[in-house]
A and B are shown apart, each in its own frame.
Chain A
Amino acid sequence: MQDIPTSHVPHRGKTNLTLKLLMGNEAIAYGAIEAGVQVAAAYPGTPSSEVLSTLAGLAREKGFYAEWSVNEKVALEVAAGAAYAGARSLAAMKQVGLNVASDPLMSLAYIGVKGGLVLVVADDPGPHSSQTEQDTRLFARFAKLPVLDPATPREALEMTKYAFDLSEKLLLPVILRPTTRTCHACQDVEIQDGNASLQPISGFQRSPNWVIFPNLSARKHVWLNGQQEVARDSFESSPFNQLTINKQSDVGIIACGVSYNYVMEALQLTGLAASVLKIGTPYPLPAGPVLKLLQHAKKILVIEEQEPVVEDQVIALAWKNRYTTQISGKNDNHSPREGEFNVNKVRSILESFYGRQPEQAATFTAPELPLRTPVLCAGCSHRASFYILKEAARGKDTLFAGDIGCYTLGAMAPLYTTDTCLCMGASVSIAAGLSRVEPHRKQVAFLGDSTFFHSGIPGLINAVHNGANITLIILDNSTTAMTGHQSHPGLNRTAMGPTDRSIDIARMAEACGVEFVRVADPFDLKTAMQVAKEALAFDGPSVVVMQRACVAQMKKGRRRRINPDLCTGCGACVDELGCPAIGKPAGSPEILDNCFGCGFCDQVCPVGAIEEV
C-alpha cells in the first residue's frame, strides 16, 4: 500500500468553480476530493461502481490513495484503519455489499473514528441489478449511524463534503446512501477546478479505546446511543431538509431522497396543493422541521422508497408530542414498500390520498413483442465453459450452482447451466451443502475470478477441509466484467496502475489443499472437455480454471460463416450455444455481422460446416 505522506502534506489551494455534467457517483467522488479524502477503497457493484473508478482516475493527480479492495468488508476496514490515524477516508459499495461489510461496520460504530469516514452505500430499488431491495437507511439505524439521502447529483456532492465534517464532529462513520436514480442520473454540477486542501494527518495514537473488549463495548454503547441525539441536533438546521409551508392547504407531504423530485413534479402535473418537507437526513430524523409541519398540517403523507424509515420516526414524534394528525404512507398501505418510484406512481399515490379521480395520460399502445433480455456477448468464453460442463456431465445427474457476475446468465436458455444463485461466493458452499444430502448427484459450482477472491476462497477451503465431493469451475476472464472491468488480485494492475504482484488462481487453489487443479482454455473444446471429464470423475474437491480474457477487452478474430454445402441444418450451433451472432430467423442457421470470431462454434458443429470468412 502506498504511504500517505504525513510530514509533507500537499496543500490544495482553492480555485475557480466549473460546471460539469456529472453522474451522481462522479459527483460523490468530486465531493470527496474537495473534502480532502486521503484514502478511498471499494468493491465494485451496480449502482455504486463509478464512485471509486472516478476517484481512482484522479488519485495520482490529486495526491491521494485509492484501491479496489478484495471485498466490501476489506474496503471498509482499510478506510477505518486510515481514519484511525486521522485521515479522511471513504469506502464505497452497493447495498448487498454492506451485508459483507456489516461485521466491521457494527463494531466500528462502537469504536468510532478520528479522521472523517464516509461510507457510500448505493441502494437499488427496483431492483435493477441486485439480489435484494434492502434499505440502507434501515441498516444505518440498526448500526446507530447517521445517514444522508441525496436527491440529486448536486446534493450528493454537497452531502459528501458535509458527511466528512459530520463524521469528525461525531467521531462516527457517516453513511451516504444514494439510490440508482441519483447514482446514474447526470446533472450539471459545480466543481472546484483546482485542488482542495488536504488536512495534516495527526497520526495513530495508541489507546485502549481502539481495542474492542466487552467492557469497552459496554461503555461505548452508552456513548453511541448519546451520539444519536448529537447527530439529530446537527440535522435540526440542516440545509438538506427544507420545509415549504403552503397556507392554502392542510396537507403536508414529507418527501425523502430522490422521491422529492417525483413529488414536486407530480404536484405540478396535478395542480394539487400541499406543504412539502424535503428530507435529506432520514436517520436520526430531526424533530424541529417535522413538528413545524405537524403544527400546520391536518393530514401528512410520507413518500419514501423502500422501508418506512422516516414515516415510523414521524409517527413516533407525533405520538410523543400528542399530535393526532393522520400520518399516511406504508403503514396504512398508501404507498408500496417494494419497487422503484417514479412520477406516475407518486402521482397516483397523491391522487388516491386526496380522493381524486386519477387522470390517465393518452399513450400509444404497442403489440406484445419478443423480449430482449441480457445475453452473454458474442465470443464470451463463459458460453464455451457452460457448454463444456454440460456436455462433460451428459448422462450424469448433475446440479450447477452459479454465482454473481455476467455468468449468472448461464441460467438462461439454451445453456441452462445455473440451477442456483444466492449471493457473492455462495456457489461453492451451496454445492458442498447439496453434496451432503444428494451424494448420488454430481455437484458443480461456477465462480468468476473476481468473485473467487471476493468470498469464494473460504468456501473452497471449507470444501477441502471437510472433504466435500464437488467440482469448482473458476471462470477466469481476467477482469471484473459485469461492473465495468475493475481490477482484482489476479491481475497485473490495481486501481492506480500496473503491479507485478498478481496472484495465480490455480496456485491459490492448490495452496487451499485441492489435489486436482487444472487450467484449461475453454475455446480449446477437445482439451477442455477432457479436463472437465477428469475433474467430474475425481473423488473429492476438484478445481478447473477456465482461462480466457473477456471479449470486451480483446480484439475481434476472423469472422465465421456457414458453408451451405456442408451444413445439414441440424441447428446445434444455434440450439446449444445461444450466441447472439448465430441465428436461424429464416429457418437455416446463419452467422451474423456481430460475430466476434472466437471460433468455438466451429468445434461444436458436428459436420465442420463453420469456417473463417
Chain B
Amino acid sequence: MLKSIDVLMVGVGGQGTILASRVLAQAAQAAGYDIKVSEIHGMAQRGGSVVTQVRLGEKVYSPLIVKGGADVLLAFEKLEALRLLSYLKKDGVLIVNDQAIDPVPVLVGAAEYPPDIPEYLCTTVPGTLVFDATEIAGRCGTAKAANVVLLGAMARRLPIERAIWEKALAERVPAKLLEVNQAAFAAGYELG
C-alpha cells in the first residue's frame, strides 16, 4: 500500500508551477501512484497568488488538499510560502525559494513586504529548506529553470527513485531545453 503524499506548490502567476506539477505527476504515475492534480486557470494567472495541488496515494478522491494536510509545501516565492503555511502538516516538509516578488500594495508603498520571512519560517517549521533557486538555475544556464531546481530539491525528499524523476523530466521538457533542466534538477537534488 502506497503512503499518500500531498504536495502544495505555491507561487506567483507565471513562475512555472504547472510544469513542475506535471513532472511530479508523471514520476508518480511511473511509481504506481493514483494521482489528482488541481490547478486554477484564468484571471489569477495574471500575477496573482497561484496554488497547484498534487495528491498521490493508493486511491485519491478529492482533488483538493485540506488545511494542515500537505506533506510538502514547495514555495516558488517566499511570501506565498507564508501565505499558505496553514496548509502544511505540523511535521511536513517546507522548501522555499528565497525570492521576493513584490505584490502591488508593496510596489506602491501601501504595504511592507514582510521582513525576515526565511528566519520566521525556519523557526516555525524546523528543518525548512531555503535557497535561492533562481540564482542556482541561472548558474545552470537559465534563471527560468528555478522551478526545476525546486522540483529537484523536493524529489530527494519523496519516496520515488531518482531515475524515475529523470525519465519524467525528459518526457515533459522540450528536447532543446533538456540539458539545462537536467542540470537544474541535479543542482536541486543535491540540496534536497
Contact = CB atoms under 8 A, between A and B. Distances in A.
B49 A372 contact: yes
A46 B61 contact: no
Interface in A163-208: 180-181, 184-188
A186 B44 contact: no
Given A264-B61, A374-B47, A580-B107, A186 B68 contact: no
Interface stretch (B79-87, B147-155, B182-190): B79-87
A343 interface: yes
Contacts of A367: 82, 114
A344 B41 contact: no
A155 B86 CA distance: 32
Contacts of A128: 40, 42, 44
Contact of A370 (B43, B46, B106): B106
Contacts of A19: 29
Contact of A574 (B83, B109, B114): B109
The residue in B35, B37, B125 that gathers the most chain A C-beta atoms within 10 A of its C-beta is B37
B161 interface: no
Interface in B1-58: 12-13, 22, 25-26, 29, 34-49
B157 interface: no
A260 B61 CA distance: 8
Interface in B84-105: 85-88, 90, 102-105
Contact of B113 (A21, A264, A370, A373): A370
A348 B49 CA distance: 27
Given A362-B68, A585-B113, A184 B107 contact: no
A495 interface: no
Interface residues of A, number: 61
B111 interface: yes
A188 B49 CA distance: 27
Contacts of A587: 109
Contacts of B125: 364
Contacts of B49: 372
Contact of A364 (B66, B90, B104): B90
Contacts of B37: 21, 185-187
Contact of A343 (B64, B79, B104, B112): B64
B69 interface: yes
Given A186-B35, A367-B114, A370-B111, A361 B66 contact: yes
A184 B104 contact: no
Contact of A366 (B12, B13, B39, B82): B82
Interface string A465-496: 00000000000000000111000000000000
A264 B43 CA distance: 31
Contacts of A566: none
B86 A363 contact: yes
Nearest to B44: A374
A582 B107 contact: yes
A387 B67 CA distance: 41
A419 interface: no
Contacts of A230: none
A258 B62 CA distance: 8
B104 A413 contact: yes
B1 to A, nearest CB: 14
A184 B41 contact: yes
Nearest to B111: A370
Given A343-B62, A580-B107, A377 B40 contact: no
A584 B111 CA distance: 11
Contacts of B69: 361
Nearest to A126: B40
A376 B46 contact: yes
A49 B41 CA distance: 10
Given A264-B61, A409-B46, A574-B108, A372 B67 contact: no
B66 A343 contact: yes
B103 A372 contact: yes
A362 B105 contact: no
Contact of A187 (B36, B46, B68, B106): B36
**Listed residue (A180, A342, A361, A366) with the most chain B CB atoms within 10 angstroms of its CB:** A366
Contacts of A264: 61
Highest count of chain A CB atoms <10 Å: which of B40, B90, B104: B104
Interface string A81-103: 00000000000000000000000
A578 B34 CA distance: 44
A185 B114 contact: no
Contact of A188 (B22, B29, B64, B90): B29
Contacts of B45: 374
A584 B13 contact: no
A587 B62 CA distance: 46
Given A181-B38, A343-B62, A363-B68, A583 B106 contact: yes
B63 interface: yes
Contacts of A188: 29, 34-35
Nearest to A484: B41
Interface string A365-391: 111011111111100000000000000
Contact of B86 (A21, A365, A377): A365
A47 interface: yes
B62 A262 contact: yes
B29 to A, nearest CB: 6
A574 B49 CA distance: 21
B111 to A, nearest CB: 4
Interface string A250-285: 000000001011101100000000000000000000
Given A366-B85, A482-B43, A186 B108 contact: no
A414 B109 CA distance: 12
A366 B47 contact: no
Interface string A560-582: 00000000000000110010101
A174 to B, nearest CB: 25
Contact of A181 (B63, B85, B103): B63
Contacts of B48: 372-375
Interface string A17-43: 001010100000000000000000000
A45 to B, nearest CB: 9
A265 B61 contact: yes
B86 A364 contact: yes
14 contacts: A21-B22, A186-B37, A187-B37, A188-B34, A261-B61, A343-B62, A361-B66, A367-B114, A372-B104, A375-B47, A483-B42, A484-B41, A574-B107, A575-B108
* Interchain residue pairs A-B with the least CB separation, the first 3: A583-B107, A46-B42, A361-B68
Given A361-B69, A482-B42, A583-B102, 11 more contacts: A21-B26, A128-B42, A262-B62, A366-B85, A367-B114, A369-B79, A369-B114, A374-B44, A409-B43, A580-B47, A585-B113
